[in-house]
């Protein structure tokens, strides 16, 4: 049974009680390791990790790069105030639902709702 002392701010310390000098720091949660330095060339680092992932999964590297670009675009779109006016459609949606590729795709199908649906009003989204 794990115990809590009044000054522990609700943290359990049973596994940390044997530390010397009264140090009872909580362990890092969810972190397997801490990187010592940032990569010098972030773009090359991301590309290499995507290349390794493509080899590991035995997928076409070009498709992995395309999917990464589409997912980053969706991430940036999700940060906009207009995010609720877009509906994701097509093969990328099926891949999201099933966690496996529906078919190799190099495009992103979105449907605009409301004021975004007009062509005149959505050009500024890609420029910002």
pLDDT, tens digit, 9 for 90 and up, residues 72-103: 998 998 898 888 888 888 888 777 788 776 67
47 and 64 Cβ atoms separated by less than 8 Å: no
Domain assignment of residue 36, yes or no: no
Distance in angstroms (rounded) separating the CA atoms of residues 121 and 117: 8
Domain assignment of residue 8, yes or no: no
Structure tokens, 54: 């493509």
Q: Which one, of 82, 81, 72, lies nearest residue 108 by Cα?
A: 72
Domain assignment of residue 111, yes or no: yes
Number of domains in the chain: 1
What is the C-alpha R_g of the chain? 23
Structure tokens, 127: 């420029």
Longest Cα pair distance anywhere in the chain, in angstroms?
Answer: 67
Within a 10 A sphere around the Cβ of 12, how many other Cβ atoms? 13
> What local confidence, expressed as pLDDT, does residue 84 receive?
87
Which one has a higher pLDDT value, 10 or 75? Answer: 75
Average pLDDT, the chain: 75
Q: Name 111's bridge partners.
A: 87
Q: What is the span of the domain harbouring residue 104?
A: 60-127
Domain assignment of residue 98, yes or no: yes
77 and 83 Cβ atoms separated by less than 8 Å: yes
Domain assignment of residue 122, yes or no: yes
Please name the residues in contact with 115: beta carbons below 8 A apart, sequence gap of 6 or more.
Answer: 85, 121
Pairing status of strand 86-89 against strand 109-112: antiparallel
């Amino acid at each position: 049974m794990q115990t809590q002392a009044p000054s522990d701010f609700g943290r359990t310390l049973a596994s940390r009680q044997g530390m010397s000098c009264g140090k009872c720091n909580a362990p890092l949660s969810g972190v397997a390791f801490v990187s010592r330095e940032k990569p010098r060339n972030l773009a090359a680092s991301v590309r290499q990790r995507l290349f390794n992932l493509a080899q590991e999964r035995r997928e076409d590297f070009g498709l992995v790069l395309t999917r990464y670009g589409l997912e980053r675009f969706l991430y940036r779109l999700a940060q906009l105030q207009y995010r609720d006016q877009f509906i994701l459609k097509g093969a990328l949606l099926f891949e999201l639902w099933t966690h496996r590729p529906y078919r190799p795709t190099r495009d992103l199908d979105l449907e605009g709702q409301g004021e975004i649906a007009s062509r005149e009003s959505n050009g500024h989204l890609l420029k910002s």
